[in-house]
């Protein structure tokens, strides 16, 4: 099965590389931050499985492309160069210091343009939850290459994102977050807060901080994420995490997988783990009640379902760590996991459906081909993304 999944993973990632101008390299590559974050982890997984340097090189080349395309202003923008405003040399040394664009096809709306909810989905800017995925990909790259520059870039991105996406509303004592910011991070494009953005940030900051501590770099890296961690923890307090969106549920399960590994490393996140797992379970029950697997491919969004499939794969890691580590001896955790295990086959059902070539000929698949392809590859070989 491993060999089969490795072969399929190679095929899908080769297709993605060709379609987006990574390999063979195009003069105008198509970069999209969310998809590229998962793709980096997939290439690292292929390198881990095969020891073939070409996959590591593809991961590093993809990082280079993302930073030089999404870390700089669009060609149709009046501004040019690094979003951070740094000069050429310093921009190369700190490519994430201004954040990273989403990579949407249409430029962001101007300050004097009216808000159009439908059109906003297709317009550029910066998304916080995309930035956290890229922080994770950089951390993974640092682990594989043993090069701390990627970890530093992830930390610089965390600091930039936190500074610009969090704010204190008038007459409030608790900060909130913007969902979407302008390319230069100077104005909010969508002021509402993403339901899981604070959780994603808190866990990703913990992941970066854990790696800094693990490598004994606390005295070698200026300004670690102590302030940002405290800030984000306060934003998370009391928030409802329950959702019936498959991608959202998958994100919660992915977060739970990372939390479990962080606890294993020494982080005190027990209560958060139980909350996230319980929220995942409630979301799954609600999602399945509508019989979503009964719909045809024309009415399903593959990447949202595959996000759930990826998250469900993390239950193996969670279960293994809890069973083999006495610090997890909590009956309530076992009870939640036993209930979640009832949905383990759902991930296989989703994978099987989208591995059917007929279901990949629909308009919904083709319109989102790159993100669908990469996330199906991640679902089939999830450890590159899920393990830290």
Can you say how many angstroms the Cα of residue 80 is from the centroid of all Cα atoms in its chain? 27
Report which of 222, 122, 202, 108 is spatially closest to residue 161, judged by C-alpha positions. Answer: 202
247 and 205 together in one domain: no
Pairwise CA distance, residues 19 & 27, whole Å: 13
User: Is the distance from CB of 233 to CB of 268 less than 8 angstroms?
Assistant: no
277 and 386 together in one domain: yes
320 and 250 together in one domain: yes
Domain boundary among 239, 272, 297: 239
Write the CB contacts of 5 (distance below 8 Å, at least 6 apart in sequence): 380, 381
Decide if 386 is inside a domain. yes
Decide if 233 is inside a domain. yes
Reported as type and span, the H/E element at residue 127 is: strand 126-127
Outline where DSSP puts E strands in 178-235. Answer: 180-181, 188-190
142 and 226 together in one domain: yes
299 and 375 together in one domain: yes
235 and 270 together in one domain: no
Decide if 52 is inside a domain. no
Pairwise CA distance, residues 127 & 99, whole Å: 10
Q: Which pTM value belongs to this model?
A: 0.95
Q: What is the pLDDT of residue 217?
A: 63
256 and 387 together in one domain: yes
Q: What is the pLDDT of residue 218?
A: 56
Mean pLDDT of successive 10-residue segments in the chain (388 residues)?
76 97 94 98 97 97 98 92 95 97 95 91 97 98 94 96 95 90 96 94 95 71 82 92 96 97 91 95 96 93 97 95 79 88 94 96 95 97 95
Q: What is the pLDDT of residue 214?
A: 76
Q: What is the pLDDT of residue 215?
A: 74
Decide if 146 is inside a domain. yes
Report which of 296, 129, 271 is spatially closest to residue 200, judged by C-alpha positions. Answer: 129
Q: What share of the chain is helix, strand, coil (3-state, %, to 5)?
A: 65, 5, 30
Decide if 16 is inside a domain. no
Q: What is the pLDDT of residue 222?
A: 62
246 and 388 together in one domain: yes
229 and 290 together in one domain: no
Decide if 358 is inside a domain. yes
Domain boundary among 239, 257, 288: 239
192 and 259 together in one domain: no
Decide if 366 is inside a domain. yes
Dihedral sign computed on CA atoms, order 81, 86, 92, 95: negative
Domain boundary among 239, 256, 291: 239
Decide if 30 is inside a domain. no
271 and 349 together in one domain: yes
The structural domain count of the chain equals 2
Q: What is the pLDDT of residue 220?
A: 59
Q: What is the pLDDT of residue 330?
A: 73
Q: What is the pLDDT of residue 326?
A: 76
235 and 305 together in one domain: no
Range of the domain at 216: 120-239
């Amino acid at each position: 099965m491993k060999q089969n999944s490795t072969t399929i993973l190679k095929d899908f990632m080769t297709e993605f590389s060709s379609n987006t101008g990574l390999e063979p390299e195009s003069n105008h590559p198509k970069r999209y931050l969310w998809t590229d974050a998962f793709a980096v982890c997939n290439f690292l997984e292929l390198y881990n499985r095969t020891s073939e340097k070409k996959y590591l090189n593809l991961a590093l080349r993809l990082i280079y492309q993302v930073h030089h395309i999404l870390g700089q202003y669009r060609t149709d923008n009046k501004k040019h160069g690094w979003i951070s405003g740094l000069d050429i040399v310093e921009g190369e040394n700190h490519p994430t210091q201004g954040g990273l664009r989403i990579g949407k096809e249409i430029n962001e709306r101007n300050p004097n343009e009216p808000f159009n909810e439908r059109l906003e989905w297709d317009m550029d800017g910066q998304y916080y939850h995309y930035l956290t995925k890229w922080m994770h990909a950089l951390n993974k790259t640092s682990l594989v290459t043993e090069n701390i520059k990627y970890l530093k870039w992830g930390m610089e991105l965390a600091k930039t994102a936190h500074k610009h996406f969090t704010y204190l509303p008038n007459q409030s004592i608790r900060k909130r977050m913007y969902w979407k910011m302008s390319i230069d991070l100077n104005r909010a494009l969508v002021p509402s807060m993403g339901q899981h953005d604070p959780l994603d940030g808190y866990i990703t900051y913990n992941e970066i901080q854990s790696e800094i501590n693990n490598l004994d770099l606390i005295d070698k890296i200026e300004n670690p994420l102590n302030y940002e961690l405290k800030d984000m923890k306060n934003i998370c307090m009391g928030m409802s995490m329950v959702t019936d969106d498959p991608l959202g549920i998958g994100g919660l399960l992915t977060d739970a997988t990372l939390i479990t590994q962080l606890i294993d490393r020494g982080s005190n996140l027990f209560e958060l783990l139980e909350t996230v797992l319980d929220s995942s379970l409630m979301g799954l029950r609600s999602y399945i009640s509508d019989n979503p697997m009964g719909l045809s491919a024309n009415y399903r969004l593959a990447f949202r379902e595959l996000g759930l499939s990826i998250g469900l794969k993390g239950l193996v890691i969670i279960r293994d760590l809890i069973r083999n580590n006495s610090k997890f001896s909590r009956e309530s955790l076992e009870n939640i996991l036993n209930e979640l295990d009832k949905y383990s086959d759902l991930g296989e059902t989703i994978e099987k459906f989208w591995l059917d070539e007929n279901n990949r000929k629909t308009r919904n698949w083709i319109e989102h081909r790159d993100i669908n392809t990469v996330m199906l590859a991640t679902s089939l070989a999830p450890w590159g993304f899920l393990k830290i």
